[in-house]
């Protein structure tokens, strides 16, 4: 398959993508999406079709039954809790849920590649097409890895994933060596004091000062320069303090922070330092404190050899390429796979003026469907021969 070649089923890809866009589901609730994907894959008669991996995840295996490497390609099933503002014919049928990260397009690329594999099965090794749930909350990859069903996919020699990237020229292949996306996780800090009359605050313990100190400490800990190895962003995303009752001094407060670093090591050190600070601060203010980590995304760390393969596949397809100098600051659940298996994520430029990811007016550019398939096709050729 070369650039410009369109198989007989290519036109149906747009219809497929628009169907998925119209029927989005939130993380962990992708039952109907998974059922639709299963139906599409079953018609292609893969060597094995495994469902219910880590909840709603599933995998199609195309096995040559000859010795050779196993390549796993991963895509995402879930959408976002965002109200769509687009008014085109394929807009979301759910008022508060929509595909604003392009997972509908990523799934369609994978289904298109599955159609290609059904006609051109590998001559050696195996190809695994993995459809992952709950990517947006940084949970689905670990759910799948922890599921005994995932062991049927092992061993995995290489793993790859695509993400569309607004802000880059349409169709450009964007790659990076080393960290591709940040380590990201969120911290919930719960502060328990004592409620009292607002006119007699000395009879209670109000966590307001502690909340303000946590926000200040988070700001001090920031190193927003993306060119620095100790890069870190700590963003307050939610604060709760007491009730709207003007005669009452608050006795309870919450602070939610999202933390981003380039590496797992930096994340571990910063997290430990922050927890030590919160503990000392709570003692100083006579508060009881509880902390909880949530929405944990591991660093997507690109393997050098895998990036070389991506770059060569782009060149062979005559695609424009761009090598990034800094990782992307957003989290990507694919990092849980690159922490265990050799592999890499790369980007498909969605257009320099295209609406940004997670914006209410975003829509996946259908011009990227065939290039995504061509890239997977050539990556496979370069590894399996």
Rg (CA), the chain: 23
Structure tokens at 365: 């550019």
Cβ–Cβ < 8 Å for 129, 44: no
Q: Is residue 4 included in any domain, yes or no?
A: no
Cβ–Cβ < 8 Å for 310, 344: yes
**Number of Cβ atoms within 10 Å of the Cβ of 281:** 18
Between CA 41 and CA 47 the distance in angstroms is 11
Q: Is residue 234 included in any domain, yes or no?
A: yes
Q: Is residue 252 included in any domain, yes or no?
A: yes
Between CA 159 and CA 157 the distance in angstroms is 7
Domain extent, residue 91, equals 11-179+299-384
Return the pLDDT at 2. 45
Between CA 181 and CA 324 the distance in angstroms is 11
63: Cβ contacts below 8 Å, ≥ 6 apart: 47, 48, 122, 126
Per-residue pLDDT of the chain (385 residues; tens, 9 = 90+): 345 556 777 779 999 999 999 999 999 999 999 999 999 999 999 999 999 999 999 999 999 999 999 999 999 999 999 999 999 999 999 999 999 999 999 999 999 999 999 999 999 999 999 999 999 999 999 999 999 999 999 999 999 999 999 999 999 999 999 999 999 999 999 999 999 999 999 999 999 999 999 999 999 999 999 999 899 999 999 999 999 999 999 999 999 999 999 999 999 999 999 999 999 999 999 999 999 999 999 999 999 999 999 999 999 999 999 999 999 999 999 999 999 999 999 999 999 999 999 999 999 999 999 999 999 999 999 999 8
- Give yes or no: residues 48 and 162 share one domain: yes
CATH number assigned to the domain comprising residue 121: 3.40.630.10
Give the number of domains in the chain.
2
- Give yes or no: residues 85 and 73 share one domain: yes
Q: Is residue 99 included in any domain, yes or no?
A: yes
384: Cβ contacts below 8 Å, ≥ 6 apart: 68, 69, 71, 122, 123, 124, 125
Q: Taking the model in full, what pTM does it have?
A: 0.93
Between CA 332 and CA 71 the distance in angstroms is 20
Return the pLDDT at 6. 67
Residue 219: cis peptide before it, omega within 30 degrees of 0: no
Sheet with 57-63, strands from edge to edge, namely: 48-53, 57-63, 126-132, 70-76, 158-165, 343-349, 173-175, 321-323
pLDDT in tens, 213-247: 999 999 999 999 999 989 999 999 999 999 999 99
Between CA 205 and CA 148 the distance in angstroms is 48
- Give yes or no: residues 234 and 360 share one domain: no
- Give yes or no: residues 322 and 287 share one domain: no
Final residue in a domain of this structure, among 297, 320, 335: 297
Return the pLDDT at 11. 77
- Choose among 80, 64, 81, 62: nearest CA to 72: 62
Count CA atoms closer than 13 A to 98's CA, side-chain side: 21
- Give yes or no: residues 28 and 171 share one domain: yes
State the DSSP string of 8-45.
Answer: TTTHHHHHHHHHHHHS---TT--HHHHHHHHHHHHTT-
- Give yes or no: residues 130 and 257 share one domain: no
Final residue in a domain of this structure, among 297, 327, 361: 297
Q: Is residue 309 included in any domain, yes or no?
A: yes
- Give yes or no: residues 50 and 145 share one domain: yes
Return the pLDDT at 367. 96
CATH number assigned to the domain comprising residue 235: 3.30.70.360
Its sign, for the CA torsion 353, 356, 359, 360, is positive
Q: Is residue 2 included in any domain, yes or no?
A: no
Structure-token match 């006609």, residue found: 119
Between CA 288 and CA 278 the distance in angstroms is 10
3-class SS at 154?
coil
- Give yes or no: residues 39 and 119 share one domain: yes
Helices 369-384 and 304-316 meet at what angle, rounded to 10?
120
């Amino acid at each position: 398959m070369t650039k410009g070649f369109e198989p007989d089923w290519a036109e149906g890809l747009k219809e497929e993508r628009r169907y998925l866009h119209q029927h989005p589901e939130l993380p962990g609730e992708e039952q109907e999406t998974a059922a639709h994907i299963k139906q599409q894959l079953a018609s292609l008669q893969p060597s094995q079709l495994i469902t219910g991996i880590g909840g709603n995840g599933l995998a199609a295996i195309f096995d040559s039954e000859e010795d050779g490497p196993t390549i796993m390609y991963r895509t995402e099933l879930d959408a976002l809790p965002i109200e769509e503002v687009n008014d085109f014919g394929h807009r979301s049928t759910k008022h508060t849920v929509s595909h604003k990260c392009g997972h509908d397009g990523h799934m369609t690329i994978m289904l298109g590649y599955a159609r290609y594999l059904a006609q051109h099965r590998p001559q050696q090794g195996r190809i695994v097409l993995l459809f992952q749930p709950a990517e947006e909350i940084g949970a689905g990859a670990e759910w799948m890895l922890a599921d005994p069903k995932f062991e049927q996919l092992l061993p995995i020699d290489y793993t790859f994933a695509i993400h569309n990237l607004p802000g880059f020229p349409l169709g450009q292949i964007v790659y990076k060596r080393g960290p591709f996306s940040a380590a990201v996780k969120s911290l919930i800090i719960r502060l328990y004091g004592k409620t009292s009359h607002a006119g007699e605050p000395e009879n209670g313990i109000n966590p307001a000062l502690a909340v303000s100190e946590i926000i200040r400490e988070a700001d001090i800990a920031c190193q927003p320069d993306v060119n620095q190895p100790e890069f870190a962003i700590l963003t307050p995303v939610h604060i709760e303090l007491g009730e709207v009752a003007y005669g009452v001094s608050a006795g309870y407060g919450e602070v939610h922070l999202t933390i981003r670093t380039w590496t797992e090591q930096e994340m571990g050190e910063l997290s430990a330092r922050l927890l030590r600070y919160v503990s000392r601060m709570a003692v100083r203010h006579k508060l009881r404190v509880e902390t909880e980590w949530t929405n944990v995304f591991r660093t997507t760390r690109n393997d050098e050899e895998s990036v070389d393969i991506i770059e060569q596949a782009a060149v062979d397809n005559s695609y424009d390429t761009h090598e990034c100098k800094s990782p992307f600051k957003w989290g990507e659940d694919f990092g849980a796979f690159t922490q265990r298996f050799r592999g890499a994520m790369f980007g498909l430029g969605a257009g320099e003026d295209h609406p940004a990811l997670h914006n209410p007016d975003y829509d996946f550019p259908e011009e990227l469907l065939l290039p995504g398939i061509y890239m997977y096709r050539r990556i496979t050729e370069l590894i399996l021969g």
